[in-house]
Amino acid sequence: MRIVAGSARGTRLARVPPGTRPVSDRAREGLFSSLGGRVPGAVCLDLFAGTGAMGIEALSRGAERCDFVDSSPAAGAAIRENLARTHLEDRARVVRSDAGRFLAGAEGGYDLVFLDPPYALPDPDLADVLDPLQSHLLTGATIVVTRPAQSGTDVIPVNLQVVRRLTYGDARILVLEAQ
């Protein structure tokens, strides 16, 4: 895995921690091409961050800052190493926590949020994250949710609108906008 574009373009990322399923370089490249001008200057949140590749890609492309949240110690170590490799650690905060607990205590708002939960996470559990997340979104915020391509119905709260659906291999990426 590597960073696709921006100031850290081409930087190889650390090994993927066991049990982590990262978004492929190709999928990230397609997603960020579709996000366009939403990234520069954005305040980002990378929930279920894994390697941190999504948030680091955003930082590399001009996001102002990013909070990385994952409950795994191995993921936290990988994110810190990847931030050091890309020289982007000064615009990042890494938090070891599950998503729900982080959102319960988080302050401030986000312009751009990445949610790449384990594919095994049931839809009702994803809804339990999306609901409290809404109180941390700035007006017009963009939320990117990765789910398995073969999954059925999307669980989307009423005041989030699907603006784009992308499919890359076994990943379906939903781009949502806060109303």
Instruction: Give the number of domains in the chain.
Output: 1
User: In sequence order, what DSSP letters do the residues of 4-62 get, joined into one string?
Assistant: -SSTTTTPBPPPPPTT--PPPHHHHHHHHHHHGGGSTT-EEEEET-TT-HHHHHHHHTT
Q: Indicate whether 15 belongs to any domain.
A: no
Measured between alpha carbons, how far is 46 from 172 in angstroms, rounded to an integer?
17
Q: What is the pLDDT of residue 123?
A: 79
Q: What is the pLDDT of residue 52?
A: 94
Q: What is the pLDDT of residue 114?
A: 96
What's the domain range around 118?
Answer: 25-178
Q: Indicate whether 52 belongs to any domain.
A: yes
Residue 21's identity, in one-letter code, is R
pLDDT tens digit sequence for 12-35: 998 887 777 778 788 889 899 999
Its pTM stands at 0.92
Residue ranges of the chain with pLDDT lower than 70?
A: 152-155, 158
Q: What is the pLDDT of residue 154?
A: 66
Residue whose pair of structure tokens reads 């291999």 in the numeric block: 169
Q: What is the pLDDT of residue 152?
A: 61
Q: Indicate whether 107 belongs to any domain.
A: yes
Q: Indicate whether 16 belongs to any domain.
A: no
Q: What is the pLDDT of residue 122?
A: 80
In CATH, what number is assigned to the domain containing residue 73? 3.40.50.150
Q: Indicate whether 1 belongs to any domain.
A: no
